[in-house]
Structure 1
Amino acid sequence: MISPPAPASPGAFVHTSLFYAGQAEYLAEVGGFVRAALAAGEPVLVAVPGPRLDALREGLAVGTAEVTWTDMTRLGSNPGRILAALQEFADRHAGRPARIVGEPMWPGRSRAEVLEATRHEALINTAFAGRRATVLCPYDVLGLPAAVVSDARRTHPSVIEKGRVLPSPAYADAASVCADCDRPLPEPDGGAPRLVEYTHGDLGGVREYADAWARGTALSAARRGDLVLAVSEAAANSLAHGGGRGSLRLWSTADGEVVAEIRDGGHLADPLAGRRRPTLASANGGRGLWMIHQLCDLVEIRASRSGLTLRLHMAAC
């Protein structure tokens, strides 16, 4: 069995990728990490895809009092939601070192999801800098594309591979990785949808337009309300932080997914905005982005010199 990464020392943060091949190696290495945390009396969160979660829980035979179990396919369907959950877990155990297993990549992820999950992995290093926490991120080298495994070397300061914990020579700072994730968004199939521009005083009209358009989609009434709220929050951010104006496009994909795209002249000064549950003292922009991440099935963020683009996805239901 590979030796697990050493737990974080006071004031240190450890972020390690585990490259595993097959179920047996996965259970041995991730199970060993969890057992070491329990032996040290440290709180541990296991957030991995459902089938892996069930196998680990059965193999470890420990209850919810010792381990917090989370199905990553639910929590992380939108990768923008993951970081808030990890930070909240660490916050609940403030003053104690926390250990976390987080597996945000699994076979079958769309290219858009992979890019946002890669962004999430890079931002973990920023969000947890200086915290007493150890995060282990398993990567299925047999099931994932080689490019995904290669990116894991850039987002993790250390890797576990071939029986050893090693520094990752390819490790890059979060700003560089996030810039690489800001690839041009593909245009929707079937031609460009109508562009609606808005400015101060138009927010009510934006909500009405989005609601009327969504009534012609496969979204349920509840999800239609979520879409309108998410679009409203994004448009409000445009007016407050994006130069006082913006544009909205709405379309449906061939499989019934609904997409809203908001563009403005703003810039994301804080790459962690929206990735932490807001408090009464939080900046308004962070509150809006956090709500958008909670409402949508996927949020794609693109920052460029000309401005900011949010592409919001909702599955038909």
Structure 2
Amino acid sequence: MFAARQALRSVPRQARLFSSSAPARTKVAVLGAGGGIGQPLSLLLKVEPLVSQLSLYDIRGAPGVAADVSHVDTNSTVRGFTADALDQALEGAEVVVIPAGVPRKPGMTRDDLFNTNASIVRDLATAVGRVAPTAKILIISNPVNSTVPIVAETLAKAGVFDPRRLFGVTTLDVVRAARFLSEVTGQDPASTPVTVVGGHSGVTIVPLLSQSSFGKGVQGETLSKLVHRIQYGGDEVVAAKDGAGSATLSMAYAATVFTNALLRAINGEENVVCPTFVRSPLFESQGVDFFSSNVELGPEGVKTIFPIGDLSAEEQALIDACLPELKKNIEKGKSFVNAA
């Protein structure tokens, strides 16, 4: 409960976003800055006080995005880089955020995105391993359950993989869980944090509502509907946008929440805890060596991986459904790299 609350307390409220009192110390690169997630993410990071330099890269559009957000009156500097300048974009980056890839369209699952996004993420990871091997890497590109293992295998082939520095951003599931639970309970979302574990698609998303002071009171059909909405909330946005996109704005916001948490930990703040998809021992004995759970962040990245705690019968059933699917997703990512 404490960990989930801490995760949501990292939300960059307006007063925090425009504060000038915090030190600006970290260079951040966004790979895919011209896309539907990349543009709002770049704007939010421009007003993040812990960012000193913002390096924006994409195969098209990044210099324009950089020129636009550079006019925002915060202390960080911004540069945009074209398709042939990836290495320059990565030079000196301490945190690399990767939202690059194609978005979901109606009827598509995250796995449908695999063939295109897998190649994009592999090539970007290769460049990070070559130019900025000690950077913390935050993966947004879907399907996260597979793209994070792709990055891990790519970096391992290059001899620079450090599991402490690789994160799958699953914060949107946490944000959605808090919001959707608040709609059921009538509470402020800030009062209804929920730890979400597992992965970042469909049945692999496991909200631990029984560990929430408000969530544990939700039962029966209401509980089933709430869990389903948390697991498949992205489909609501895809359908509502009617083929014009997916959850880009909420994803950019959620990615900023996690980036802010990591930046605070890098800068020495203690007890920064939030769920993220990382190399994990929790279910390694079952062939699942990546898993999202509450993680304490530190200056080097992952500091402590926490167990998932006591589960209700319903949550245990969700974990039982999650693990086989997550194992397949992880193996798919590893096989893609190793077959190349």
Does the alignment reach a TM-score above 0.5? no
Q: TM-score, normalised by structure 2?
A: 0.30
User: In proportion to residue count, which structure has more strand?
Assistant: 1
Q: TM-score, normalised by structure 1?
A: 0.31
**Bigger-Rg structure (1/2):** 1
User: In proportion to residue count, which structure has more helix?
Assistant: 2
